[in-house]
Amino acid sequence: MILLLFAGGVSLLHGQLATVKGKVLDGLTGEPLPGASVTYGPGKGMVTRFDGTYELELTADNYTLAYSYVGFETKTFEVSLRPGQTLDQVVRLNSITLKEVAIVADMARDRKTPVAFSTISPRQISEELGSQDLPMILNHTPGVYATQQGGGDGDARINIRGFDQTNIAVMIDGIPVNDMQNRRVFWSNWFGLDLVTGNVQVQRGLSASKLALPSIGGTLNILTKGIDDRQSTKFRQEFGSGNYTRTTFMHNSGKLDNGWGFTISGSYKNGDGLVDGTFTEGFFYFAKIEKITKKHRISFTGFGAPQNHGQRSFKGEVAEYSHSFARELGIDDDVISRIPDRGRYYNQHVGQWEDYSLIGVANNPPPPPFPAPADEYLITRRGQLNTINERTNFYHKPQFTLRDFWQIHNGLSISTSAYVSIGRGGGTQLRSRSGLGQTDAGLIDLQEYYDSNITNSLNAEYNYVNVNPEFSETEIQASEYVRVARNDHFWTGFLSQANWEMTDVLTLTAGVDFRYYKGSQYSKIHQFIGGDYYIDNSDLNAPRNEMKREGDRLFRNQEAHVAWGGAFAQAEYSEGPLTVTANLTAARTGFMGRDYYRARTLDVGDTTLAIDYRDEITYNDETYDRNSPGLETYQTEWIWVNGFTSKLGANLDLTDNKAKSAPSMCRATL
């Protein structure tokens, strides 16, 4: 009898219970929030699981459910639970700075913004990226294809819907980072961003960007961590193939009591590379300092990644890397048999030569220069064996941003950013590969270059010092070298946006975008393969037969100037399940170039003369030469190009916010 009464009591109690379950999500990105608090009374409740889900069994009654998470606004709901009821509640928490993020970084909002997008969370980056370049995490995203190219560290490239990076707008915290000359993005410049990335959002198609950007393929938004995130400290040590090591450190203070906060991070990596010759070494530094007041949020961000790495071209004969793979692809055996199998780690840019010193000449040699191999005619002393990758990249592109987000009142805010980027670096390659063969191992036979350089320096009297007395009594004149193509730049910009919530359903956004870019492209001697100097005549404003040494400029010396001015306006209507967005942008871009190696120009009234170092030009009974006053560096006229875009999109949520709906979109672009 007692047992029956107990069972009946349990059954009665179970009938009095109700269930509240669901998921807590980030209101901006739609990502789950693990560890969010779900409470129904003081000290009563639970935290969400790893996937943001929760489940509570409560006695049927009236409750106030509170959902909270660090850095997000708390939401409360009054619920009345009936016995046996199951309430499935998906709650979206808005970041404390949701409005700032949406305005500044052009982030699409789940089931609101009429674009197709995917968001990558820090957890995914931490678990899946490993030592790969940041774009490789996006290969699981629909419409995105990322590749590591030839395998060099930092050489990744990304395509969205078939468009390459020149047609994709890449932004870091709302600041565009595509090169202003060629629109390219070099991920080796940002290798440490994975440490401090809060979210990565990929918008496919014309995207939600309000700026006048050539982003027909899509937009890639990278948001870095800041004062909204929890206080945390991380240290990580990584090891990988090719003797790869990476040491990283990151500390985020969160929001301190006085309204200040900061994030600092540093990383160092090095390795030999899995592919032959693809060594890597790089540093990363990042600092963000923020201050929040009642009306303002001010932040200063600085980061950079000086690095140096070896490269490999991504195009080549498949059979040269793997005969078996070539057969799987259906390549004919007759073709495969003519190509040596070098292995998957083969690098066509690795070369080798051996140093030696001359101690005499064989009997009855032919007159110099001696045909290769020089060993047949010269008595030498063997020296060091040298192996190099002719294709390397080194660069340092620090970027500094000062931003103020001003909340004028509840319905009106202005965000203003000023930034500067200073890039220094370039890439190396042989001046010419004409006539060079390969060693048995498939390496570039640089011995031919070395032999040519030192033997061409012998005069008719067999001067064993290997010099050309016309230029130097003691140094060797080289005919070949490894050059470095430099691409330095100075880039500054100003971006300001105003956001006005006119009514509960209508929001207007407008702003301006100004940028100025100065790029310097020039070549320098990086390394001699035998020899001490090179005779150059590429600069028409310098004496003939200049002696150029390692580090000297030659071949080209140019400047590119780009000026950009843009304006944009956007209206968004959102009521119930319907959101409609209309956007219009306009931009004016100017281009001008200078060439320091072309003959300088002189305006003489009715014409312009081109005068190089050797010229003496007589015009209208006047003689002009390199010393004439008023000579100017050759430059083009400014060329101005106008452009504009228009976008129209609509999103209808048919699911009452319980599942993601596919957006309905209609856009026109000119």
Give 369's pLDDT tier (boundaries 50, 70, 90): low
Among candidate residues 467, 446, 324, the one with its CA nearest the CA of residue 385: 446
SS3 label, residue 478: coil
**Rg for the chain, CA atoms, rounded:** 33
For 42-108, list the strands marked E by DSSP.
44-47, 53-59, 62-68, 75-80, 86-93
Query: Any idea which residue has 């959102």 for tokens?
Result: 574
Q: Is the per-residue pLDDT at 370 higher than 60?
A: no
Q: Is the per-residue pLDDT at 153 higher than 90?
A: no
Domains of the chain with bracketed CATH:
12-93 (2.60.40.10), 98-224 (2.170.130.10), 313-346 (no CATH), 600-632 (no CATH)
Give the separation between CA 512 and CA 210, rounded to whole angstroms.
10
Q: Average pLDDT of 618-639?
A: 92
Per-residue model confidence as pLDDT tens digits over 477-498: 888 899 999 999 999 999 999 9
pLDDT higher for 228 or 391?
Answer: 391
Q: Is the per-residue pLDDT at 82 higher than 80?
A: yes
Burial of 631 (0-12, 13-18, 19+ CB in 10 A): middle
Among candidate residues 269, 264, 266, the one with its CA nearest the CA of residue 238: 269
pTM: 0.81
Per-residue model confidence as pLDDT tens digits over 317-344: 899 999 999 999 999 988 898 999 999 9
- pLDDT score for 10: 44
- pLDDT score for 231: 83
Per-residue model confidence as pLDDT tens digits over 187-223: 888 888 888 888 888 888 776 677 777 778 888 888 8
pLDDT higher for 377 or 577?
Answer: 577
- pLDDT score for 447: 87
Give 638's pLDDT tier (boundaries 50, 70, 90): very high
Pick the range with the lowest mean pLDDT from 57-61, 453-457, 560-564.
453-457
Give the separation between CA 370 and CA 376, rounded to whole angstroms.
9
H helix or E strand, kind and range, residue 445: strand 444-445
The pair of structure tokens assigned to 49 is 């699981």
Q: Is the per-residue pLDDT at 463 higher than 50?
A: no
Per-residue model confidence as pLDDT tens digits over 505-552: 998 999 999 999 999 999 999 999 888 999 999 999 999 999 999 999
Per-residue model confidence as pLDDT tens digits over 164-180: 888 888 888 888 888 88
**Residues 228, 255: contact at Cβ < 8 Å?**
yes
Q: How far is CA 57 from the centre of its chain?
A: 48
Pick the range with the lowest mean pLDDT from 97-106, 288-297, 568-577, 647-656.
97-106
Give 465's pLDDT tier (boundaries 50, 70, 90): very low
